[in-house]
C-alpha cells in the first residue's frame, strides 16, 4: 500500500515547514501546546496572500458582497440562538486502562498516550460510554467570575454576520440577493487535534453568508424558479434562481477559486452530504475535499480527501433563530415582491402563501414552539409576503485558512534530483506555489556582492519591486545556491543583476541597450532577458 509513502511525505512537509519558517509549534520552547500552531515568516506571507486572494475574489471584485470584521467574544446569547451552547459537541470516551480521551467516532486512528506510536486499539482498554463534550472555549467577561459573566471564544465567524445582518443591510445599500463576508479567528476545543494543522484548536475561517430570496418569493416575482440543468457552472446569477441554483453557483465559484490559486480540480473532491449527515435545517451541503497525503483511501487505493470547505444551503434558520432569541426583526422589505404579489391571481397567492406558511411552521415546531403558537406565527409570516416582507434564506461557503495553507504546501511540494559534472547527485525541494499565493514573489540577486555598481543597481530594482509585492534581496553565496534557496521557499521569479545589466552586452556582444536583467522562472528554470522598466509590469501580471 502507498500508506507509508504518504506518511513519509507528511514528515518531509512538516520538517520543511519548520526548517524554512512556514509553521512552528506554538510555545515550542515550553514543549508546545497541543492543537496550536504559529506561522513563521514565509507562512505568514503565504497566509496573508491566501486571505487577500479570497477577499479580492469574494468581496472586492463583486458588487453583491460587503465585508465585516466582528469581535471574537460576543454576547453568549448569540451561541444560544445558534444552537452552539446546546449542541456543538463531539461524543467523547475515556479509556479506563490508558486514561486516554478520544472521540468516540475516531477511536481506530488516535494514538494511545501510553504507546504514542501505536493506535488506541493496541491498548484494548475498556472504554466509557460516549458523552457530549462541548467544543467551545469558555471565558469570563469582567472582574466577577460567575455564571452571569460566562462568554465564549467564537467557534465560527458566521454567527456575527447573522447578528449584524440588519446593520450591514442598512449601511451598505445592498439588497437581497447579497452576501456578507468575514475572515477571522475561530476556536474549538477539539478532543483530539491531529494531522498537523488540519485539526487545530485555534484556526482561521473565511466565511460568506449569501442571502437569497426564498423560492416562494422568486416564484412570485419571476413566475417560476429555474431548475439546475447539467453539470458545471450555471453562469451569471439570474433573478429567477432559487436556492438550488445559488447553491450550485457557489460550489462552482469556490472550486474555480481553488483552481485559480493553484489547486488542480483533480486534487479536489465534491462531496454531497447524505440526508443522514445533513443538519436538520440544511437543504443541501457540499463539502469540498482536498486529497491530503494523510487522507484515507478507497477500495481502489485512491485518496478520499478531507474537508477544506463546506457549502451549505441553510434555509432561513439562522436569521429566524436570531429573530426569536433577540426579539429584533430580521426580515427584509422587498418592493419587487410587494408589487408582484398584487398582480398574482388568487390561486397563485394562496399556493405560495401555503408553501411559505408550511415552511415557517415546520421551522418553528422543530425549534420547540408549540403547535398553536407556531401556526399563529407562521400565519403572520406568510401574511407578510403581500407586504413584501420575508426572512432571507442563506447559502454559506465556509472555508478554513489553515487547511487551505496545508493543502497548498502539500500540493506545491516536489523534489528534483540533479547530478553535477563530477557525478555527485543531490535531491532538493521545489515548492511550486502559484505566483498569486507564493510567499515571496520575486528575489532580487546581484551577481556579486562586492561590486558596488551591481549592488546599487540591484537595490534600485529591489526598492521598486518591494513597493508592489513581497520581494526579497539576497546576495549571499553562489547564484546557483541562491536560486535553490528560492525554489525551496516557492519563489516563482528571480531577477539577477549581472554585468550585462551594466554594460548593455548580450552574449558577449554589444546589444545596444543597457539596463536589462535576467528573469529566472522557478518552474523549468527558464531564463529570459528583460528590460528593467518591464520587470514590474511583467511580474504584476503574473502575481495578481
Ligand atoms: P470537521 O468535520 O472537519 O470537524 P466541520 O464540518 O466541523 O469540520 P465547519 O464547522 O463546517 O467544519 O467549519 C468550516 C471550515 O472551517 C471547515 O471546512 C474547515 O476548513 C475549518 N475548520 C473547522 N474546524 C477546524 C479545525 N479544528 N482546525 C482547522 N480548521 C477547521
Q: What average pLDDT score do residues 139-157 get?
A: 96
CATH number for the region 440-543 comes to 3.40.50.800
Closest residue by Cα to atom 4, ligand 1, is 199
Closest residue by Cα to atom 31, ligand 1, is 400
Q: What is the pLDDT of residues 24-83, one digit of tens each?
A: 999 999 999 999 999 999 999 999 999 999 999 999 999 999 999 999 999 999 999 999
Work out which ligand 1 atom sits closest to the CA atom of 200. 28
Q: Phi and psi at residue 22, in whole multiples of 5°?
A: -90, -55
What class does CATH assign to 42-83+138-331+391-431?
alpha beta
Q: Are 413 and 463 in contact (CB under 8 A)?
A: no
Closest residue by Cα to atom 21, ligand 1, is 400
Closest residue by Cα to atom 19, ligand 1, is 400
- Strand boundaries in 327-456, DSSP class E: 332-333, 389-390, 393-400, 413-419, 425-431, 442-446
The verdict on the CB of residue 403 being under 6 Å from ligand 1 is: yes
Closest residue by Cα to atom 8, ligand 1, is 307
Q: How far is CA 22 from CA 149, 239, 292, 462, 489, in A?
A: 38, 45, 18, 23, 9
Q: Where are the domains of the chain?
A: 42-83+138-331+391-431, 89-134, 347-388, 440-543
The verdict on the CB of residue 378 being under 6 Å from ligand 1 is: no
The verdict on the CB of residue 159 being under 6 Å from ligand 1 is: no
In terms of phi and psi (left: phi > 0; alpha: psi -120 to 50; beta: otherwise), the region of 223 is left
Closest residue by Cα to atom 12, ligand 1, is 310
Q: What is the pTM of this model?
A: 0.93
Bridge partners of 209, per DSSP, are 180
Q: What is the pLDDT of residues 280-326, one digit of tens each?
A: 889 999 999 999 999 999 999 999 999 999 999 999 999 999 999 99
d(CA 235, CA 227): 13
Dist. CA 403 → ligand 1 center (Å): 9
d(CA 440, CA 444): 11
The verdict on the CB of residue 103 being under 6 Å from ligand 1 is: no
Q: Are 472 and 442 in contact (CB under 8 A)?
A: yes
**pLDDT for residue 531 is more than 50:** yes
Dist. CA 157 → ligand 1 center (Å): 12
**pLDDT for residue 261 is more than 60:** yes
Percent of the chain at pLDDT above 70? 94
Dist. CA 154 → ligand 1 center (Å): 13
Q: Is 178 helix (H, G, I), strand (E, B) or coil?
A: strand
Dist. CA 19 → ligand 1 center (Å): 27
**pLDDT for residue 268 is more than 80:** yes
Amino acid at each position: 500500500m502507498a500508506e507509508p509513502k504518504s506518511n513519509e511525505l507528511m514528515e518531509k512537509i512538516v520538517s520543511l515547514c519548520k526548517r524554512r519558517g512556514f509553521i512552528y509549534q506554538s510555545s515550542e520552547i515550553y514543549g508546545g501546546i497541543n492543537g496550536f500552531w504559529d506561522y513563521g515568516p514565509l507562512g505568514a506571507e503565504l497566509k496573508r496572500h491566501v486571505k487577500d486572494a479570497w477577499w479580492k475574489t469574494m468581496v472586492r471584485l463583486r458588487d453583491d458582497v460587503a465585508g465585516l470584521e466582528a469581535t471574537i467574544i460576543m454576547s453568549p446569547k448569540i451561541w444560544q440562538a445558534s444552537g452552539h451552547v446546546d449542541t456543538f459537541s463531539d461524543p467523547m470516551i475515556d479509556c479506563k486502562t490508558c486514561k486516554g480521551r478520544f472521540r468516540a467516532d475516531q477511536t481506530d486512528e488516535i494514538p494511545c498516550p501510553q504507546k504514542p506510536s501505536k493506535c488506541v486499539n493496541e491498548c484494548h482498554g475498556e472504554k466509557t460510554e460516549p458523552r457530549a463534550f462541548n467544543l467551545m472555549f469558555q471565558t469570563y467577561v469582567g472582574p466577577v467570575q460567575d455564571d452571569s459573566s460566562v462568554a465564549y471564544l467564537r467557534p465560527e465567524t458566521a454567527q456575527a454576520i447573522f447578528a449584524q445582518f440588519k446593520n450591514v443591510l442598512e449601511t451598505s445599500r445592498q439588497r437581497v440577493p447579497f452576501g456578507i463576508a468575514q475572515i477571522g479567528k475561530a476556536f474549538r476545543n477539539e478532543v483530539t487535534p491531529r494531522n498537523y494543522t488540519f485539526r487545530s484548536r485555534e484556526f482561521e475561517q473565511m466565511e460568506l453568508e449569501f442571502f437569497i430570496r426564498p423560492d416562494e418569493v422568486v416564484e412570485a416575482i419571476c413566475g417560476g424558479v429555474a431548475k439546475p440543468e447539467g453539470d458545471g457552472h450555471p453562469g451569471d446569477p439570474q433573478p429567477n434562481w432559487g436556492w438550488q441554483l445559488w447553491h450550485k453557483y457557489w460550489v462552482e465559484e469556490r472550486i474555480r477559486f481553488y483552481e485559480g490559486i493553484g489547486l488542480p480540480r483533480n486534487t479536489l473532491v465534491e462531496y454531497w452530504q447524505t440526508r443522514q449527515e445533513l443538519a436538520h435545517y440544511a437543504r443541501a451541503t457540499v463539502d469540498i475535499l482536498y486529497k491530503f497525503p494523510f487522507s484515507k483511501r478507497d477500495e481502489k487505493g485512491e485518496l478520499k480527501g478531507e474537508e477544506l470547505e463546506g457549502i451549505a444551503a441553510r434555509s432561513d434558520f439562522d436569521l429566524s433563530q436570531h429573530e426569536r432569541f433577540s426579539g429584533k426583526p430580521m426580515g427584509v422589505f422587498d418592493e419587487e415582491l410587494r408589487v408582484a404579489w398584487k398582480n398574482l391571481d388568487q390561486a397563485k397567492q394562496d399556493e405560495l402563501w401555503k408553501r411559505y406558511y408550511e415552511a415557517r411552521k415546520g421551522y418553528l415546531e422543530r425549534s420547540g414552539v408549540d403547535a398553536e403558537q407556531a401556526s399563529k406565527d407562521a400565519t403572520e409570516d406568510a401574511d407578510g409576503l403581500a407586504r413584501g416582507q420575508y426572512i432571507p434564506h442563506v447559502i454559506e461557503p465556509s472555508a478554513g485558512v489553515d487547511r487551505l495553507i496545508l493543502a497548498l504546501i502539500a500540493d506545491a511540494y516536489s523534489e528534483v534530483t540533479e547530478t553535477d559534472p563530477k557525478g555527485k547527485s543531490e535531491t532538493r525541494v521545489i515548492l511550486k506555489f502559484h505566483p498569486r499565493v507564493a510567499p515571496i514573489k520575486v528575489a532580487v540577486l546581484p551577481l556579486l556582492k562586492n561590486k558596488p555598481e551591481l549592488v546599487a543597481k540591484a537595490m534600485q530594482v529591489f526598492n521598486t519591486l518591494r513597493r508592489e509585492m513581497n520581494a526579497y534581496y539576497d546576495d549571499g553565496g553562489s547564484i546557483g545556491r541562491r536560486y535553490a534557496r528560492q525554489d525551496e521557499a516557492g519563489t516563482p521569479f528571480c531577477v539577477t543583476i549581472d554585468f550585462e545589466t551594466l554594460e548593455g552586452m548580450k552574449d558577449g556582444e554589444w546589444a545596444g541597450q543597457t539596463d536589462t536583467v535576467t528573469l529566472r522562472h522557478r518552474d523549468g528554470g527558464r531564463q529570459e532577458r528583460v528590460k528593467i522598466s518591464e520587470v514590474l509590469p511583467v511580474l504584476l501580471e503574473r502575481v495578481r
